[in-house]
Chain A
Amino acid sequence: MLFRMIRGVLFHQKGKMLLIAITIALGASLATGMLNVVMDVEDKVNKELKNYGANITVKPKDASLLSDIYDVGEGGEALNAAYLREDELGKLKTIFWAFNIVDFTPFLDTQATLPDGDGAEVVGTWFNHHLSLPTGEELDAGVQGMRSWWEITDGRWLNEADEGADSEIMVGALLAERKRWTVGETVKLTGSHGERDMTIVGIYDAGGDEDEQIFATLDAVQALTDREGKVASIEVSALTTPDNDLARRAAKNPAALTSRDYETWYCTAYVSAICYQIQEVITGSVASAVRQVAESEGTVLDKTKLLMILITALSLIGSALGISNLVTASVMERAQEIGLLKAIGAKDRSITGVVMTEILITALVGFAAGYGMGFGFAQLIGRSVFGSAIEMNTKVIPIVAGLIALVTIAGSLPAIRMVLRLKPAEVLHGGH
């Protein structure tokens, strides 16, 4: 009988039930979309922020100390008595958080003499250096990925795969303008250990100090300065988890952590944990976070998440209000029927049960439709904002189902209150 009654109401009030289902579907779709994005946004935003450069720098222990004491910048060749080893760079992709290391590149700089007698800073680095790791992984690392904001105003990126790449350079826009150099021109660079004719293949606008520099391959600078196999610093771009109290404590002194905290910290992609692991594999190195970038990432991430959670909450509140109006209208329309059921002996809880079952069945349909819509919605956000698909998280299903149940019940409360207060005498034949 209960089934017949519920079926009867669902078909008899199909217009109203459809509206309730649509209201729930809209709330569920927004909640599903937003929560899936929130759960996937960390990686997405991190990847986006990686376009703005490295968030970890690795220096030799001694150089780092001297650099800190004397505040010498790049090009402090005389003080850089210590170096990192180029052959250890591949180890960066062997640490616990190897998959979070998105890109990296070594640097070795020198002050070279130009044909007109002026000096210029020449930076040796990888551009698109191909690495075959012992793990079987193949990857291209270098400044081309790490300096994605560089605008090539003339020519092209230096390609390490080209024959003669070690005799090619890229020149900063300001330096090229001052020296009136153009692409294709050959410039003789004199280093501390020889000289070499270098062909300009590209002129770039970096919007900073690098516009006064010359970028050459690492091999070329090593040869010019007789520092084969040596690297002055490494820039690493890594996907990280925003710092919390544990990460801040660990950054000061990992040894001071309890073994449980240490394990949690080590197995979370905090920037300090990744730095620590880099130091473990690169001999004599000090890895440090570029604080500004790391903190910006955390702030942007937290704010993005908060915004999405607020949108979810607002959409659910909107759904609850919509459900409240529609269910109340439905109950008002059925006042005589409910009064009749009470008159023939139905208890309040039986009628409430029937009404709630109808609404929850409708909610279930709305939730199923909304979840499907939310899936598409999340993909739309992923594609349009981050340029990639959003991974659907199964945890979202019970969360959204619970939220929808809560919203539906909360939205139905005014109608249930009306059902409980309804007196059969008043709706069946007037009070007196």
Chain B
Amino acid sequence: MALLELKNISKIYGELKALDNVSIHVDKGEWVAIMGPSGSGKSTMMNIIGCMDKPTKGEVLLDGEDISKLPSKRLTDIRRDKIGLIFQQFHMVTYLTAVENVMVSQYYHSMPDEEEALEALGRVGLRERAKHLPSQLSGGEQQRVCVARALINHPELILADEPTGNLDEANENIVLDLFRQLHREGTTLIVVTHDPEVADAAQRTIVLEHGKVAREVVNENFVE
């Protein structure tokens, strides 16, 4: 059953077609990688799927609801309730500790619960680093805090934009292991990447070129 469906989506900036009549679908519990070179429309697609932008044309169905024409207030609600976001540059609140960065997500979702936030940090192996500020954490640790922040509200979809782009190999493996764990638990994952190794970890890869779907590749060697 499809959690996400993009039907004939286009995003046009003046003369530039960032996305040109793109249609994809992602099933519930599926792990999909979106690949493509710079300027292929990956980030535009992520913004649209993440309810941070609207398409110029086409429909975006999330859990059966067309979100392509919803007002921004409603999109904020959907983003808060259904989507967990992970960014390449981590984006942590610099003056809050690791646990407080996780709690911020709870605060805007429902109620901050420090114990639950500590558990989420424990899940990414950072419980003992909970009281550290972002500046006191390594890049890999910061990204793991961001994973904890993304999963704290139990979203239906985790959307990651180049999650390993700024990480060394060891930390990349840690993050991919976390994704595998989330996938086993039934979380839907969409990972935007230009790294073939990260894409190979997914069940399916959608390749974008010049704003269009160039091909879709099912990973025959996918390991749970």
Contacts and interface: CB of A to CB of B under 8 A. Distances in A.
Interface of A: 1-2, 4-5, 8-9, 11-12, 336-337, 339-348, 350, 423-425, 428-432
A1 B107 contact: yes
Contact of A5 (B88, B96, B106, B149): B96
A276 B174 CA distance: 96
Contacts of A350: 108
Given A342-B76, A425-B53, A432-B41, A337 B94 contact: yes
Given A5-B104, A429-B89, A431-B44, A424 B95 contact: no
A431 B105 CA distance: 23
15 contacts: A5-B93, A8-B96, A9-B95, A11-B95, A337-B93, A340-B91, A341-B108, A344-B85, A345-B79, A348-B73, A429-B161, A431-B47, A432-B13, A432-B18, A432-B43
Contacts of A428: 52, 87, 89, 91
A424 B96 contact: no
Nearest to A13: B95
Q: Which of A337, A342, A343, A425 has the most CB of B within 10 A?
A: A343
Contacts of A4: 96, 100
Q: Which of B13, B53, B112 has the most CB of A within 10 A?
A: B53
B69 interface: no
Contact of B91 (A5, A12, A336): A336
B88 A429 contact: yes
Interface string B39-51: 1010110110010
A344 B89 contact: no
Interface string B73-88: 1001101110001011
Nearest to B48: A425
Contacts of B112: 1
Contact of A343 (B13, B73, B79, B100): B79
Contacts of B52: 343, 423-425, 428
Contacts of B77: 345
Given A1-B100, A337-B91, A432-B43, 17 more contacts: A1-B107, A2-B107, A8-B93, A11-B95, A12-B95, A336-B91, A337-B93, A337-B94, A343-B79, A344-B80, A344-B149, A345-B79, A345-B81, A348-B73, A429-B87, A432-B39, A432-B44
B146 to A, nearest CB: 10
A23 B87 CA distance: 37
Contact of A1 (B41, B104, B149): B104
A344 B149 CA distance: 9
Top 6 nearest A-B pairs by Cβ distance? A345-B80, A8-B95, A12-B95, A425-B52, A432-B18, A1-B107
B115 to A, nearest CB: 14
Contacts of B88: 429
Nearest to B111: A1
B11 interface: yes
Interface in B93-135: 93-96, 100, 103-109, 112
Q: Which of A5, A345, A346, A350 has the most CB of B within 10 A?
A: A345
Nearest to B162: A429
A432 B44 CA distance: 5
Contacts of A339: 91
Nearest to A351: B108
A330 to B, nearest CB: 13
B101 to A, nearest CB: 9
Nearest to B92: A340
Interface string B131-168: 00000000000000000010000000000010000000
A336 B41 CA distance: 22
A5 B95 CA distance: 8
A337 B77 CA distance: 19
Interface in B48-73: 50, 52-53, 73
Contacts of B85: 343-344
Nearest to B82: A345
A347 B73 contact: yes
Nearest to B40: A432
A430 B105 contact: no
Nearest to B149: A344
Contacts of B107: 1-2
B45 to A, nearest CB: 9
